[in-house]
Amino acid sequence: MAIASVNKASSAAVGLQDSISSVVFKQAGQRIYLRLDPLVTEPALQRFDPSYAPSQAQVVSSGGRAAAWFVQLTSVAAVLRHFRRGGLMARLVRERYLWLGLARTRSFAEFDLLRLMWQAGLPVPRPLGAAVWREGFTYRAALLTLRIDQARPLALCGEPTVWFEAGRVIAKMHQFDVWHADLNVFNLLVDAQDKVWIIDLDRGYRKALTAAQRAENLSRLLRSVKKVVPEFESSCWQRFKEGYQSALNED
Q: 3 pLDDT band (50/70/90 cuts)?
A: very low
Q: What is the pTM of this model?
A: 0.89
Kindly state the average pLDDT of the residues 206-217: 96
Report the distance separating Cα 239 and Cα 251, nearest Å: 20
Determine phi and psi for 148, rounding to 5 degrees. -85, 115
Of residues 238 and 250, more confidence is placed in 238
Mean pLDDT of the chain: 89
Kindly state the average pLDDT of the residues 189-212: 97
Cβ–Cβ contacts within 10 Å for residue 155, how many? 19
Q: Where are the domains of the chain?
A: 2-146, 152-249
The kind and range of the H/E element at 197 are strand 196-198
Give the long-range contacts of residues 22-29, CB within 8 A, separation 24 or more: 25/1, 26/1, 26/2, 27/1, 27/2, 29/135
pLDDT number for residue 9: 42
Of residues 101 and 27, more confidence is placed in 101
- Whether domain 152-249 has CATH 1.10.510.10: the reply is yes
pLDDT in tens, 129-186: 999 999 999 999 999 999 999 999 999 999 999 999 999 999 999 999 999 999 999 9
- Does pLDDT of 89 surpass 70? no
* DSSP for residue 42: S
Q: Which of 49, 112, 177, 182 is catalytic?
A: 182
37 given a catalytic annotation: no
Phi-psi sector, 109: left (phi>0), alpha (psi -120 to 50), beta? alpha
Residues whose CB falls within 8 Å of the CB of residue 240, separated by 6 or more in sequence, listed in order: 163, 164, 166, 167
- Does pLDDT of 188 surpass 70? yes
Kindly state the average pLDDT of the residues 7-14: 39
DSSP-derived 3-state class of residue 48? helix
* DSSP for residue 61: S
- Does pLDDT of 83 surpass 60? yes
Determine phi and psi for 92, rounding to 5 degrees. -100, -45
Report the distance separating Cα 34 and Cα 56, nearest Å: 21
Kindly state the average pLDDT of the residues 196-221: 97
